[in-house]
Amino acid sequence: MRLGFYPKLALTGIAKNKKTYIPYILTGIGMVMMFYIVTFLSKNDAVGAMRGGESVQGFLSLGITVIGIFSTILLFYTNSFLIRRRKKEFGLYNILGMGKGNLSRVILWESLIIAVTSIVLGLGCGVLFSKVAELLVSKLLNSTVGFDFTINKDALGMTLKWFGVIFVLILLNSLYQIYKSKPVELMKSESVGEKPPKANWLLALVGIVLLGGAYYLAITIQDPVTAMILFFVAVIMVIVATYLLFIAGSVTFCRLLQKNKRYYYKTNHFISLSSMVYRMKRNGAGLASICILSTMVLVMISSTSCLYIGGEDMLLQRYPRNMILRTDAADTEYTEYFHQVIDEQLREHQQTEENIVHYHYVSISGIMEGNEIIFDEDKLNSSVDYSKVWSVFIIPLEDYNQIMGTSETLAEGEALIYATKSNFKYDEITLDGIGTFRTKKTESFVANETDTMQIMPSLFMFVPDVTDALNSINDILAKMGMEERAYIHDYYGFDLACSEEEQTEIYNAVMDRATKEYVMEATGLSEEEVLQQNVNVSFQSMALQRDGFLALNSGFFALGLILGLVFICGAVLIMYYKQIIEGYEDQSRFEILQKVGMTKKEIKKSINSQVLTVFFAPLIMSGIHMGFAFPLVSKLLTLFGLMNTRLLAIITLGCFGVFALFYILVYLATSRAYYGIVSENNLD
Amino acid sequence: MAILEVSNIKKIYTTRFGANKVQALSDVSFSVEKGEYVAIMGESGSGKTTLLNILAALDRPTSGSVRLDGHELSQIRESKIAEFRRDNLGFVFQDFNLLDTFTLKDNIMLPLVLAGKQYGEMRARLTPIVQKLGIEGLMGKYPYEVSGGQKQRAAVARALITHPKLILADEPTGALDSKSTDELLELFGKINQEGQTILMVTHSVKAASHANRVLFIKDGEVFHQIYRGNSSNEELYQKISDTLTILMTGGERR
């Protein structure tokens, strides 16, 4: 009989408080499951063996730490809430003659039951769903895995250890709480006489100004470089502003409405408004955190999934054709050699080039001041404002017409221009030391890897003859005291109809012949002469790049997805508990209201409007944040080579929609629980 | 004219599955005239609170009828009952039941706000009442900032502001010190003299001795009643004490 007493007491304790304990245990199960799955993926040999799998695993092991820390915080938070709620019950046991030692045994049993349930069920679900996760990762990486089912002992051990420690710490904390408090205190439930919150105009105003400033920054920034630099400034401004607005702004706003007697003394507004002041004071910080957390998560998920889905696009931006040969040489004659090598190899593999893109260009970087680009080494080195640094590509008009299939002509002193990442809005452009041109604009040209991979904006200029420009650039370089001469870049891209494997073979064969020895043999030059030519060759195959690219993006994506899921669950759970606490505090208030003559319907309405406000304020705010962050994020993504704003818009909206749906579901559950608590004994 | 008529009410509480039945009120009948000041006394468990809840329309009797100003309470539709309560009844509770999120002023105006009155009218009604109760200086304060006596006076003001037909007071002096108790009882006497009907449920002999009539409830029935007649408060106090002694010792009905 005595043996079963404490476990029995613990079990009834849990069963009686199931409204608060079930979500806690579910959190435990969920966290254990996620932790195991992420650890499993990052340690699983099958994932490691996939193409790009190692890179994904690298990202995931970062995720383990984050999930570990987050679950610790979350479980501690929820437990402290549970303990607070149960102090009264423990106080009663204490007065009935149970010593603190006995109470500790009850708590010990409770913790044991919860920990074992969470870990066992969590691991069970984890093992079950780990295969699904593995399949998903293989899908992300366009890879395949077998259907064999494995349990990773390392991951199992790590999860057990980590959560074992967390639960022991939580137990110690609960015991400490019980030992610290006196029975009378245990009996006393909630404190009475909370000071009414005061409106803080200054902080509210600062919040509005900061938020306005951040939003202004977000929508006015035009070029990606400034966007990158100011992104973090804007993020910090938004974070501070969100806290200020939720903590001080909300109270001030309510107070302002209360000042308006006609508005305030209306049945609908009276109760809600005066309770909201207190609610916001208690929950302002929490709601702000939830708002920021969900905004970050949503931005993270939408941008990583955009990078993943738009990966092929980005690849095409960087590598507009299957194979790209770029030869940089001061004199064009040696460029021919590499074209020959490629021709030979293609003949050998019985392939022909398709969709050829072939053009020449000379390039230089300078500082844009007004409509003038200045080439000055000192300025270039000291310039902090990177958004002013532009790359200039000067290309023969003939090449442009051939590639674009146009027949553009230019008058004397005129140039066709095309700018990326930024706008050039002047009618005339001066290149310091090269000349002044009237501008004629064009909206497109083939993407180019040099431009895509750098964050500076680029100006493509098409002129009838590049020789003048080349000579001028050589003069500029000489003036800067540089010995080498400017390159003429030969850009040659083409598609192949054959499989990616064969493309890789051709690629490797070409690369074998790009060595010094081959060049010497083919051109009959001495080693010294070859080196003097100062030739740079880059040959790239999209097929080869794709794997690395995919791995990186999938890694980002998987991490974003998992962390996003965990954070959102956490945020929503915190909301749930906040509402439950409120419910208990509101219980007596609604009892009074009913006695004073408020109908059940009115009470229900008032409850709904308050819960709705508290619940959806962070969601709406984060929606607004995301709306303003959108232009900034889309500019940042152009730095990664993702130009597809529409894709980002669709994905962002989609993510927000899914999140909102999930949020609404939790709201329905929460408001039910809240209503149940408030109406206990007095309504219905 | 009787403002409240209670006839043969019976209340039986049943546990959820009907296993146990507890009879709280067996057969209660009495009536209260307009302008009367009636105290109901009884021990814990005698059914006082049940009776008050039924009178307040917070609970319904198992059988019997309650008529307030000619309206049969059981005939009022569920949706109208809160409105009815708001317009016809004023409540004063032992633990004040002021909302701590409101200032005293807002607490007092609460019933009017719920009734959807205009702000101007609320103000016009508020001023004379708070002046009469001597709390006009405390309107901007929150309940936790004032004393128990002041809280109870604010609660009385909240009950009076709707000009109710009947004030129901549930142990109004239960949480007050003796000085505040005296003040409150004096106040009750004063508003009664101005024509306000009051029904008070109490344990306190002192509180009951201020009433015009005292009803005694025992085992769910009206056991006895005393009219003040021409007695002073002290004489009435003595009579009540005597009656209680008889009640306690299980004496027969006189």
Backbone angles phi, psi at A681, to 5 degrees: 65, -25
Most A CBs within 10 Å, among B114, B122, B167, to test the A interface: B114
pLDDT single digits (tens) A380-394: 666 566 667 888 888
Q: Is the dihedral of CA A345, A350, A355, A358 positive or negative?
A: positive
Determine the residue of chain B that is closest to A274 in CA distance: B101
Chain A, chain B: beta-carbon pairs less than 8 Å apart: 72
Q: Is B125 on the interface with A (CB under 8 A)?
A: no
Q: From A66, A131, A574, select the one nearest A300 (Cα to Cα).
A: A66
pTM: 0.73
Type of residue found at B41: M
Per-residue pLDDT at A121 = 95
Q: From B94, B113, B93, select the one nearest B103 (Cα to Cα).
A: B113
CA distance to partner chain A, nearest, from residue B57 (Å): 10
Q: Is A146 on the interface with B (CB under 8 A)?
A: no
Determine the residue of chain A that is closest to B102 in CA distance: A274
Spatial separation of the C-alpha atoms in residues A280 and A139, rounded to whole Å:
45
- Cβ contacts of residue A29 below 8 Å, gap of 6+? A117, A118, A121, A122, A125
Q: Is B102 on the interface with A (CB under 8 A)?
A: yes
Q: Is A131 exposed, middle or buried (0-12, 13-18, 19+ CB in 10 A)?
A: middle
- Cβ contacts of residue B233 below 8 Å, gap of 6+? B209, B210
CA distance to partner chain B, nearest, from residue A681 (Å): 12
Tokens of residue B120, six digits: 């101007």
Spatial separation of the C-alpha atoms in residues B5 and B36, rounded to whole Å:
13
pLDDT single digits (tens) B223-251: 888 888 888 888 888 988 888 888 777 65
Q: Which residues of chain A have a CB within 8 Å of the CB of B93?
A: 595
Determine the residue of chain B that is closest to A263 in CA distance: B119
Facing residue for A274 by CB, picked from B79, B101, B111: B101
Q: Is A601 on the interface with B (CB under 8 A)?
A: yes
List of long-range contacts for A92-97, beta carbons under 8 Å, 24+ apart = A92/A186, A92/A187, A94/A183, A94/A186, A95/A183, A95/A187
Per-residue pLDDT at A83 = 83
Q: Is A257 on the interface with B (CB under 8 A)?
A: no
CA distance to partner chain B, nearest, from residue A648 (Å): 46
User: Is A596 within 8 Å of B102 when comparing Cβ atoms?
Assistant: no
Q: Which residues of chain B have a CB within 8 Å of the CB of A600?
A: 82
Query: Helix/strand/coil (H, E, C) string of A445-458?
Result: CCCCHHHHHCCCCE
User: Is B116 within 8 Å of A267 when comparing Cβ atoms?
Assistant: yes
User: Is A596 within 8 Å of B58 when comparing Cβ atoms?
Assistant: no
pLDDT single digits (tens) B23-50: 888 888 999 999 999 999 887 777 788 8
Tokens of residue A566, six digits: 């965990």
Facing residue for A270 by CB, picked from B81, B113, B158: B113
Per-residue pLDDT at A126 = 93
CA distance to partner chain B, nearest, from residue A197 (Å): 10
Name the B residues in 210-229 with CB < 8 Å from any A CB.
Answer: none
User: Is B111 within 8 Å of A593 when comparing Cβ atoms?
Assistant: no
Name the A residues in 269-308 with CB < 8 Å from any B CB.
Answer: 270, 274-275, 277-278
Per-residue pLDDT at A189 = 47
Per-residue pLDDT at A172 = 93
Q: Which residues of chain A have a CB within 8 Å of the CB of B82?
A: 594, 597-600, 602
pLDDT single digits (tens) A547-600: 777 777 888 888 888 888 888 888 878 888 888 878 877 777 777 787 777 777
Facing residue for A278 by CB, picked from B93, B101, B110: B101
Per-residue pLDDT at A115 = 95
Q: Is B158 on the interface with A (CB under 8 A)?
A: yes
User: Is B144 within 8 Å of A601 when comparing Cβ atoms?
Assistant: no
The residue among A388 and B125 whose pLDDT is bigger is B125
Per-residue pLDDT at B254 = 46
User: Is B106 within 8 Å of A196 when comparing Cβ atoms?
Assistant: no
Helix, strand, or coil (residue A491): strand
Per-residue pLDDT at A156 = 93
Most B CBs within 10 Å, among A265, A269, A603, A682, to test the B interface: A265
Q: In which residue ranges of chain A is pLDDT below 50?
A: 1, 189-192, 682-684
User: Is B101 within 8 Å of A602 when comparing Cβ atoms?
Assistant: no
Facing residue for B91 by CB, picked from A193, A274, A595: A595
Q: Is B101 on the interface with A (CB under 8 A)?
A: yes
User: Is this complex's ipTM strictly greater than 0.90?
Assistant: no
Q: Which residues of chain B have a CB within 8 Å of the CB of A270?
A: 106, 110, 113-114
CA distance to partner chain B, nearest, from residue A27 (Å): 34
- Cβ contacts of residue A405 below 8 Å, gap of 6+? none
Q: Which residues of chain A have a CB within 8 Å of the CB of B58?
A: 594-595
